Amino acid sequence: MKRKPHNIFAAFSIILIIISFISFLVIKENNLQKKESSFFKKITPSNNNIDFEKLSPLEKDIWDKFQEIPKSEYNTKYEEIAENNRVLLNISSKENNIGAYILKIVLNSGELSPKAKLFILNKLRVLDASSGNIVDSIKITMESLNLAEELNSESDIVKAKIALSSIFNSLGGHESSIKILQDIDIENKNFPGVSRVTISLYLYLAENYGFLNNTTEGFKYLNKITPLITDECGEYKKNILILKNLLEARLYIILDDQEAALKCLNTANQLLANLEKAFFTDLKTLRLLTLESYYLKYNSLKFSPNSIKNFIKNTNYHGDITFLKIAFNLLFQYYYETKDFEEYTKLAKSYDSYLAEVNLANNKVFTMYLIENLENEYFSKENEKLYRNIFLLILLMVLILGVSYKRMLYLDKKSKVDALTTIGNRLAFKEDFNFLKGNNYCMLLFDIDNFKKINDTYGHEFGDEVLSTIGKILKTIENKEISIYRIGGEEFAIIFTHFNESFAMESCEYIRKSVENIHWKYPITVTISGGFAKSMENIYAECDKRLYKAKGSGKNMIIYQDINEGDV
């Protein structure tokens, strides 16, 4: 659940940005020599993850052929080397990408002309796209763009911008991706291969709009592709038609047109089965997620949760973020519809961990990207010391800021945690409750039946054990959409956000039954009574009224209806 921003952290961040900007201007002003990129020296080919003993026959054949080419001939045979690697597009794994390794060797050789470097960069960008290394993808794409502008290569400039938009797309920044694509004036271009580039542009626009559920714009750009596809396109035509049909199927599923969606899926499946050469890296992934989306909506018996789980597992959480989120959402929907709340809870915890990892990864990406851009400036010896001192100053400030912010978060979190149950306390509840005003949510208030009698009969130590155990049960369902609190002695609250009322009520019954079924060291059955309500102006008071109604109606129950609406 969202929390209030920390003003101190914001102030420090602004100061850091200002210092960084001034430092950059000082460095740039003192840089009297011509800018000379060191990028190619930094794409150092690493074979740490490549097991040359376990190469497939195809990979070994390509590696052997490459080793036969002298380094001095790279500049004349770069096209041949790149074309040989094309067959590895959908074969080399993330950990064993021998094709990308070969291209990085060629790029790092120092033998290539600017034109050859640009050609290899473009091929490397496609081949390395499946690696999951967003930092490398940004480096390669931005250097392609810089070199294309330097060579005034109109087609390569457009390709690099489309590639940059695809990175934003994979990170979930669909609006940013669309903005980049719409700024490309493709209709007035007349370079060789402009038709294929235009097709790619429209495909990415349609895909982005599809992810935003904008079917009108999605179909608009897919329809623009049709007149651009000619019979001479061969295998490339198959690739485009597969993508087009899969994207159309997704749009039809959103529109709930089952017949049209199935027709597009069948067409894509037939084409994919006969595909000899792949021009895109995500055809099979897009097919899997689209097909499972169709099954989940129209034929749930065919839906395969294991296929989705295997996809998530095999990507190791480092693949296309948009596709991973779709996979998680499919599983969430499946577990909800099948009422498998145990698996739902496990997945929710896994998803929370994934989002935290994604946020950390994205921070590293853009930090690395900033550093790489700074390092691309060539400094004279007179400026090296200045650069080093400024860099160390910024690094020191980042460390101080990081430690201070971490300590601030720790103290803030500690002040909002109940020491006995380790769940949110009344302070945390008040803050979140006030934050949610005006939003749609559900809330449950409950307390432990006859708790005073339990304390009087078995002692306060056992009473604390009861409170602690119930806290542990509540923590099993806690995630970003379910927040739990101990707001009084034996009184608890649960807030459900972004869930429908039915799911929240079923979760409440799960808690009530779980408490009732606990076996204690004394011959006693502990129960709870509660009041539940949807968001309204006086939701706390209404939940409290229903709680006391449950107490007066025999206890061990949760009242869900308005008190004046009759029996539960």
Report yes or no: 220 and 208 within 8 Å, Cβ to Cβ.
Answer: no
**Tell me, what's the pLDDT at 568?**
47
The pair of structure tokens assigned to 302 is 């065919």
- Tens digit of pLDDT for each residue in 171-198? 777 888 899 888 888 877 778 788 888 8
Alpha-carbon distance of 356 to 350, in angstroms, equals 10
Other beta carbons within 10 Å of 464: 13
**Tell me, what's the pLDDT at 258?**
94
Q: Which helix (H) or strand (E) holds 40?
A: helix 39-42
Closest CA to 380 of 31, 56, 24: 31
**Tell me, what's the pLDDT at 397?**
60
Report yes or no: 445 and 530 within 8 Å, Cβ to Cβ.
Answer: yes
- Tens digit of pLDDT for each residue in 305-321? 999 888 888 776 555 67
**Tell me, what's the pLDDT at 375?**
45
Alpha-carbon distance of 363 to 371, in angstroms, equals 12
Flag whether pLDDT at 364 surpasses 60.
Answer: no
Q: Check the CA dihedral 344-350-355-356 and report its sign.
A: positive
The pair of structure tokens assigned to 455 is 């304390």
How would residue 285 be classed by pLDDT, with cut points 50, 70 and 90? confident
- Tens digit of pLDDT for each residue in 85-139? 766 655 544 445 777 788 888 888 888 888 888 888 888 777 665 555 566 777 7
The pair of structure tokens assigned to 444 is 């449950």
Determine the average pLDDT of the residues in 397-408: 58
**Tell me, what's the pLDDT at 7?**
56
Can you give 299-314 as a three-state secondary structure string?
CHHHCCHHHHHHHHHH
Determine the average pLDDT of the residues in 355-380: 50
- Rounded to the nearest integer, the mean pLDDT of the chain is 78
Q: List the single range of 44-48, 67-71, 153-157, 478-482 with lowest mean pLDDT.
A: 44-48
How would residue 410 be classed by pLDDT, with cut points 50, 70 and 90? low
pTM given for the model: 0.55
**Tell me, what's the pLDDT at 42?**
52
Count of positions (residues) in the chain: 568
How would residue 247 be classed by pLDDT, with cut points 50, 70 and 90? very high
Q: Which of 361-370, 412-421, 445-454 has the highest mean pLDDT?
A: 445-454
Alpha-carbon distance of 242 to 199, in angstroms, equals 13
Alpha-carbon distance of 348 to 328, in angstroms, equals 9
Q: Which position has the higher pLDDT, 213 or 122?
A: 213
How would residue 376 be classed by pLDDT, with cut points 50, 70 and 90? very low
Indicate the burial class of 150 (C-beta count within 10 angstroms; 0-12, 13-18, 19 or more).
Answer: exposed
**Tell me, what's the pLDDT at 145?**
84
Buried b (16+ CB within 10 A) or exposed e, 91-102: ebebebbbbbbb
Q: Which position has the higher pLDDT, 356 or 270?
A: 270
- Tens digit of pLDDT for each residue in 484-532? 999 988 999 999 987 678 888 999 999 999 999 999 999 999 999 999 9
Residue position matching structure tokens 């961040």: 13
Alpha-carbon distance of 153 to 144, in angstroms, equals 10
DSSP-H helix ranges across 128-231:
134-150, 154-170, 174-182, 194-211, 215-225
**Tell me, what's the pLDDT at 34?**
41
Determine the average pLDDT of the residues in 423-430: 89
Alpha-carbon distance of 459 to 452, in angstroms, equals 10
Determine the average pLDDT of the residues in 34-53: 54
Closest CA to 184 of 163, 168, 215: 163
Q: Which position has the higher pLDDT, 12 or 81?
A: 81
Question: In the chain, what are the domains?
Answer: 36-131 (no CATH), 426-565 (3.30.70.270)
**Tell me, what's the pLDDT at 463?**
93
**Tell me, what's the pLDDT at 360?**
54
How would residue 251 be classed by pLDDT, with cut points 50, 70 and 90? very high
Determine the average pLDDT of the residues in 219-237: 82
